[in-house]
Amino acid sequence: MQCPTCEYEFDPAGDLQCPRCGSMLSCSATACAECDGCSGLLEQLRRNGKDRLRSDGGTQTDSVPSDND
């Protein structure tokens, strides 16, 4: 995978953070065919969910309050 910020080529298998510049890459901005960082469908779903939470600020979006509220 090539980092869009610094154009460094790296293996995204561990994480989607560029080891050179530290830029966090987004699954929504990168096509799966370009990345090849997920080992299967479950890994792809996990990364997409994690990416959405990060872009949402990690806030709770459901209408039901949790026990911690």
In tens, the pLDDT along 22-63 reads 998 877 777 777 777 777 777 777 777 777 777 776 555 555
DSSP assignment of 17-68 equals B-TTT-PBP-TTTS-HHHH---SSHHHHHHHHHHHHHHHHTT----SS--TT
The answer on pLDDT for 68 being more than 70 is no
pLDDT band at 3 (very low <50, low <70, confident <90, very high): confident
The whole-model pTM stands at 0.52
| Rounded average pLDDT over 5-34 | 82
Longest Cα separation, the chain = 45
